[in-house]
A = this chain, B = another copy of it.
């Protein structure tokens, strides 16, 4: 258990942007909203999942929609609270703790808003260990925990409750309702008890985001290399360094989809990396050779500042380091890969863990 103060949100947002792997929405919007809430309503207690009672009611709150839209249409505090209240009213019971659905981006900090206003503890963990674009892409799904009943709230006061037969159906309904809500919405979902949370939650991921953010800030303060600091803090591999020379992006069906080309620099001269994304960065390859693929994390950091680059901020001329970070091991099971592996997203490649790909590359080079 630890107390998260307003000033800690800077590092959580920065670290959350790292684990957002390019998606999860702009972390700074979530941070501003959470800071606003915490200045008014006080700090948030981060608790370990093991401290939950078996019959606790844990609810995840999250922003949903295309990050490109979330940039234009800022979520507000009332929406966060409305979605939570709508779900509690449906369940006939109040939450005893809140959680992040995904540690990445906006959704690493949005839950702090509700936790502060409602005076509820926040579980130090999330359901993905990163960001993913679809509702069913959680370890909860692997453990048979339903995303629905799921409440969505827009900024006009509308609320919609989805009660679906599977998490994939929940995703379908949520996506079209979110489109009708103008492309973004706030949601409360994945209600579970303490026993379920202990099975399905990626433990300590909020604390890890905080530590990663702090490591980057400290490197900057010491005029050290923030990319190196991020590699150490995340346990990731440097797979490319280069300059963004081409970005193709569209917003389609509630997602930002596209690809970018990054021409090598600093030891990667002459090598070009292609990056494919659907909100999150999902596949990085050099020619036909895959360097990292979902569910492992692909992270772009600004070479100078170590600032994570999200998909919607990718632009010509950015000089970036590309990191590959191993995902949590549960994603590497057959069921995990079926849910979030490269083939689910339409990439006809086999998943190979990033550390294995990286080692074989070193062998080739040597």
Cα of A179 to Cα of B176 in the assembled complex, Å = 9
Q: Quick check: which of A123-131, A165-173, A193-201 contacts chain B, the rest being far away?
A: A165-173
The digit string for A142-179, where 1 denotes a CB below 8 A from any CB of B, is 00000000000000111111111100010011001101
Check if A173 sits within 8 Å of B169, measured CB to CB: no
CB-CB < 8 A to A158: which residues of B? 162-165, 169, 173
Q: A176-B176, A176-B179, A179-B176 known; A160 and B157 CB under 8 Å? A: no
A176-B177, A177-B176, A179-B176 as given contacts; A160 in contact with B162, CB under 8 Å: yes
Enumerate the 3 nearest inter-chain pairs by beta-carbon distance, A residue then B residue, closest first.
A161-B161, A157-B165, A159-B163
Residues of A within 8 A of B (CB): 86, 90, 156-165, 169, 172-173, 176-177, 179-180
Task: Give the distance in Å from the alpha carbon of A252 to the alpha carbon of B172 in the complex.
Answer: 19
Least distance between A174 CB and chain B CB atoms (Å) = 10
* Distance of A156 from chain B, by nearest CB (Å): 6
What chain B residues lie within 8 Å of A179 (beta carbons)? 176
Give A172 to B169 CA distance when docked, in angstroms.
20
Point out the residues of chain B lying under 8 angstroms from A159, CB to CB: 163-164
A173 B163 Cβ-Cβ under 8 A: no
Establish whether residues B160 and A173, one from each chain, have CB atoms under 8 Å apart when the complex forms.
yes
**A138 CB to nearest chain B CB (Å):** 19
With both beta carbons as reference points, the residue of chain B lying nearest to A150 in the complex is identified as: B160
Find the B residue at minimum CB distance from A159. B163
Tell which of B86, B156, B163 touches A160, judged by Cβ atoms closer than 8 Å: B163
B157, B162, B180: the one contacting A176 at CB < 8 Å is B180
